[in-house]
Amino acid sequence: MFEMKEEYYLGVDAMDAEHIKLFEIAEKAFVLLNDQFIIDKFDYIVKIMEELRDYTVVHFSDEEAYMESIQYKKFFSHKIEHQEFIEKINQIDWDEVEKDQEKAILAILEFLNNWLVNHILYTDKLYV
């Protein structure tokens, strides 16, 4: 379900490769949601979200360095979007995740789908 589609490519190889990785992390959440053999998914959710947080920190740093190198005029507003993404991950209520794991995974998938697609198509495309 989560894959890097042709329209998401920016033409900046390093950024495209990192976006592919972000879609792969989202796909892990989707696979987890549909895995009926894992009853308690909490630890898996935590692991996926830690991977997502850690990788986005790296990706955002790389992307921001690229934007600075090309003197992108909307750098600061773009950086704010990155910070908001990290804050959203850091504000996860793990007690709520524990209570309703399926609902939590669905919320994570909805957030990732909306954010990845919109951010790449409408924000990242502006700097290329």
Buried b / exposed e across 61-84, counting CB within 10 Å, b at 16+?
eebbebbeeeebeeeeebeeebee
Distances (CA, A) of 96 to 27, 53, 78, 104: 22, 19, 30, 8
pLDDT tens per residue across all 128 residues of the chain: 889 999 999 999 999 999 999 999 999 999 999 999 999 999 999 999 999 999 999 999 999 999 999 999 999 999 999 999 999 999 999 999 999 999 999 999 999 999 999 999 999 999 98
Query: Token pair for residue 110?
Result: 């909805």
pTM of this prediction?
0.92
